[in-house]
Amino acid sequence: MFNDIFPNVQMDQMWVATYETFYMTIISIIATFIFGIILGLLLYLTDRGNLWANSTLNGITASVVNIFRAIPFIILILLLIPFTDFLMGTIRGPNAALPALIIGAAPFYARLVEIALKEVDKGVIEAAQAMGAKAHTIIFKVLLPESMPALISGITVTAIALISYTAMAGVIGAGGLGDLAYMQGFQRRNFDVVFLCTVFIVVIVFIFQFLGDWSSRKVDHR
Amino acid sequence: MISIKNLSKVFKTKDQTVNAVDDVSIDIPKGEIFGVIGYSGAGKSTFIRLINRLEDPSEGEIILDDQDIAALRKEPLRKKRQKIGMIFQHFNLLWSRTVFENIAFPLEIAGVPKRDRDEKVQELIDLVGLKGRENSYPSQLSGGQKQRVGIARALANDPTVLLCDEATSALDPETTDDILDLLVSINEKLNLTIILITHEMHVIQKVCHRVAVMEQGQVVEQGEVLNVFVKPQSKTTKRFVQQLSPLEHQIDRLDEFITDDQQSEVVKLHFIGNNAKRALISEVSKQLDVAINILQGSISPTQEGAYGTLYVEIKGEPTVIQEAIQYIEASGVEVEVLKHV
């Protein structure tokens, strides 16, 4: 039955590709979350009227973020090939995709972080200052916890963009379901492989969306 | 003891400068509840935010426990702020923390070890009457309960002064009274100095010992609440006092009693402090041959004693009426004879 509908699909290949997609997605989500929050905090804190108001630093951070956000992902991968080679020692496989994935997604997420932080009630920050809180206390005990639901829904949106980035990275040989769909499917006219890869990717997207929505609700006590 | 000297705050924008607080000097002894009242834009909010340097003063001194807050550098200011509690109109609680964790927050900031922290928080929860709500989130509380959390949080580090920034303005009248009662009981129990700002005379009347009236950044009048109530000097103060005695608005209802008849006078009596509790009217009518017709009256309790107003019509021979008025004045009650304007 299965072999009739998907004559060209080899399930062992499918599982390896699925594993690679998960691997690339999860590692890049974690790194994007960390770098995105750092960049987002920097954008927010150096903004006018905030804790570390500094227009020069704000301008530099904003420019970097905007430049990397403006570059189409597929071009970013190509531009980063020398850097990836230097950093990872290879330009093929899931690990080789990571620098491009993270550099492509972190600036995007940084903007979402900035928006989330701007939503934090100024009065609460002021209350913490009135209690004599240090800057790092305000960041880790006020800003981040108070914006957590938005930070989580932001990383969910970013994660889903990352899943489609991993598929794109597959075209230049990063592995994963995108690679499989392109190399084994499209190039060899095996459209059943393309179709099944698509189904798998959609399922993965649903899983991440569900996890994101669930945990965002979980931390929201407003 | 807090001593504020020549405090000023100037806001400069491109095309104008605003003297939000203009040369304000106030001394507040320990354990006093000091109120600042003013209409919005009078500078009272800026004034209270200057005290813990949420706004930096342009000029002047704020001496608290022999230290000039206005001159403190960043790090000592941070330490000093831990000893200045503040509560806010919109409570400013962290929604991501439970009641317990919110109250523990200032203790975490001050570096109090976990065990002492838990003990202190429990104590404060009892003090403000929130037993059983420790694990609720602010969103599950009513406005009054939220302000109780705010108060407990402000008291966590045993402050020497509590600043209240329109702390009851977002609450309904009944809850306002509960919160004010709580503030008075804390003031008495801990001998804590409280500075509060408000636009409601009712709040001043109910809890304050002394009051300052602010207008356009300046203090136009200050003194004992009772004195300010009975003898308001400035126009603004008079308007505030009228808020409290609705009778002042209804003077025209007395019109028909005020006549040119020599045998009848309408007088307004001010009772202050213990005089408010005397049976003066029956004394007068027993001692002198006058008939007294009570028109309207009210009594307002304040922290320093009661304050009442009574409008009466005195009927009798003109000379006896004068005698009656003198008798009343001699007993320490102020008399004002009302005539047609």
* Whether the predicted pLDDT of B313 surpasses 70: yes
Residue of A nearest to B95 (CA): A222
Segments forming the whole domain that contains residue B270:
247-338
CB B163 within 8 A of CB B195: yes
Domain identity same for B280 and B233? no
How far apart, in whole angstroms, are the C-alpha atoms of residue B332 and residue A150? 66
CATH of the domain at A128: 1.10.3720.10
**pLDDT (average), residues B169-175:** 92
Domain identity same for B143 and B227? yes
Domain identity same for B200 and B237? yes
Residues near A45 by beta carbon (within 8 Å), at least 6 away in sequence: A51, A52, A139
CB B3 within 8 A of CB B63: yes
Confidence at residue B259, expressed as pLDDT on a 0 to 100 scale: 79
DSSP B339: -
Phi-psi region of B226 (alpha: psi -120 to 50; beta: other; left: phi over 0): alpha
Out of B195, B225, B243, a domain closes at B243
Confidence at residue B163, expressed as pLDDT on a 0 to 100 scale: 97
Domain identity same for B253 and B238? no
Name the amino acid, one letter, at B44: K
Residue A127 lies in a domain: yes
Residue A189 lies in a domain: yes
Q: Biggest alpha carbon distance in chain B?
A: 79
A86-130 pLDDT tens trace: 888 888 888 889 999 999 999 999 999 999 999 999 999 999 999
Confidence at residue B13, expressed as pLDDT on a 0 to 100 scale: 86
Residue A5 lies in a domain: no
Q: Which of residues 112-141 of A touch B (CB under 8 A)?
A: 121, 123-124, 126-134, 137, 141
Q: What total number of domains does chain B contain?
A: 2
> Strand B17-28 relative to strand B84-88: parallel, antiparallel, unpaired?
unpaired
Out of B219, B243, B267, a domain closes at B243
DSSP B142: -
CB A21 within 8 A of CB A101: no
Q: What total number of domains does chain A contain?
A: 1
A26-77 pLDDT tens trace: 999 999 999 999 999 999 999 998 999 999 999 999 999 999 999 999 899 8
More confident residue, B281 or B150: B150
**pLDDT (average), residues B237-246:** 78
CB < 8 Å to A134, chain B:
78, 109
CB B36 within 8 A of CB B28: no
CATH of the domain at B157: 3.40.50.300
b/e code B165-204 from CB counts within 10 Å (16+ = b): bbbbeebeeebbbbbbebbbebbeeeebbbbbbbbbbbbb
Residues near B173 by beta carbon (within 8 Å), at least 6 away in sequence: none
B65-122 pLDDT tens trace: 889 999 999 999 999 999 999 999 999 999 999 999 999 999 999 999 999 999 999 9
How far apart, in whole angstroms, are the C-alpha atoms of residue B263 and residue B64? 60
Domain identity same for B293 and B215? no
Residue A2 lies in a domain: no
- Joined tokens for residue B169: 């303005």
Task: Inform me whether the C-beta atom of residue B160 falls under 8 Å from chain A C-beta atoms.
Answer: no
Smallest Cβ–Cβ distance between B106 and the set A121, A131, A134 belongs to: A131
Does ipTM top 0.95? no
Domain identity same for B155 and B263? no
More confident residue, B192 or B231: B192
A138-167 pLDDT tens trace: 999 999 999 999 999 999 999 999 999 999
**What does the radius of gyration of chain B's CA atoms come to, in whole angstroms?**
24
Complete DSSP assignment for A141-205: IIIHHHHHHHHHHHHHHHHHHHHHHHHHHHHTT--HHHHHIIIIIITTT-HHHHHHHHHHHHHHH
Residue A170 lies in a domain: yes
Residue A3 lies in a domain: no
**pLDDT (average), residues A157-180:** 90
Domain identity same for B216 and B326? no
Residue A199 lies in a domain: yes
**pLDDT (average), residues B125-153:** 95
Domain identity same for B280 and B156? no
- Joined tokens for residue A117: 């932080």
* Whether the predicted pLDDT of B254 surpasses 80: no
Residue A40 lies in a domain: yes
Task: Please indicate whether, in this complex, the C-beta atoms of B109 and A134 are within 8 angstroms of each other.
Answer: yes
Segments forming the whole domain that contains residue A169:
10-218
* Whether the predicted pLDDT of B341 surpasses 70: no
CATH of the domain at B296: 3.30.70.260
Out of B211, B243, B275, a domain closes at B243
